[in-house]
Amino acid sequence: MIIDNVMTDKITLHDLGFVQVQLQGEQRLHVWHPDLPRRSCFEHSAIHDHRFNFISRVLVGTQINHCYWMMSNPDGEFVLYLHEGKRTASGGRPWTPDGRADLVHETTFKIEAGNDYNTQAYEFHRTEPGGDGRVATIMQKRGDYRRGAHSTCRYGIQPDTDFDRYQWPAARLWEVVREVLLA
């Protein structure tokens, strides 16, 4: 079964370890919790980009962002995987190899609850929850581009292309959201 756009589902898991809730106005609530599953190759594949600009406000906890500069290199440390095409039954998009690169760490910054941060389309970064691992943000898309986004995975590591966004029922995901927002 092919799903044209899983983003019509109100609440799902994201393979980077958070719950994603669709809101009105191109907004999403993202909720991190230490008990949430994430892709099996996460430690080798957390650096990614987006095909849209966005602004995000931290509601609960502290968000930590690591920004990277991408240098194309046919012998690079990372394989780039392009995400384009229809979503699969497990909710993900295809992982299509799209070259290799080195990713150079540029900066790390922390965003405390009540503060915003901006991310531009196609800027490579990875995000992690600070503190006890419980963080909630509201993200609003600001411009959407045609070319797909990328995930990266260290060369020689098999990416987890079959992460199931539906492995937890919606009721269990809502419990996580409630726990983090009411803590």
The residue type of 177 is V
**Predicted pLDDT at 9:** 77
Quick check: 61 and 136 in contact, CB under 8 A? yes
3-state secondary structure the chain: CEECCHHHCCEEEECCCEEEEECCCCEEEEEECCCCCCCCCHHHHCCECCCEEEEEEEEECEEEEEEEEEEECCCCCEEEEEECCCEECCCCCCCEEEEEEEEEEEEEEEEECCCEEEECCCCEEEEEECCCCCEEEEEEEEEECCCCEEEEEECCCCCCCCCCCCCCCHHHHHHHHHHHHHC
Other C-beta atoms lying within 10 Å of the C-beta of residue 32: 25
Between 74 and 86, name the one with better pLDDT. 74
**Predicted pLDDT at 1:** 30
Strand 27-32 and strand 124-129: the pairing is unpaired
Give dist(CA 141, CA 150) in Å, integer: 17
- Is the pLDDT reported for residue 89 higher than 90? no
**Predicted pLDDT at 140:** 97
Mean pLDDT over each residue of the chain, to the nearest integer = 93
pLDDT in tens, 104-131: 999 999 999 999 999 999 999 999 999 9
Report the pLDDT averaged over residues 63-90. Answer: 94
Quick check: 129 and 135 in contact, CB under 8 A? yes
The pLDDT confidence band at residue 2, using thresholds 50, 70 and 90, is very low
Report the pLDDT averaged over residues 25-49. Answer: 96
**Predicted pLDDT at 8:** 59
Q: Kindly list the structural domains of the chain, giving each domain's residue range(s) and its CATH number in brackets, ordered by start.
A: 2-182 (2.60.120.10)
Interacting residues of 171 by C-beta distance below 8 A, sequence separation 6+: none
pLDDT in tens, 7-23: 557 999 999 999 999 99
Give 182's Cβ-side CA count (13 Å radius).
6
Give dist(CA 71, CA 68) in Å, integer: 10
**Predicted pLDDT at 102:** 98
**Predicted pLDDT at 90:** 85
**Predicted pLDDT at 144:** 84
Give the angle subtended at the CA of 85 by the CAs of 23 and 22, to the nearest 5°: 5
**Predicted pLDDT at 99:** 97
Give dist(CA 44, CA 126) in Å, integer: 11
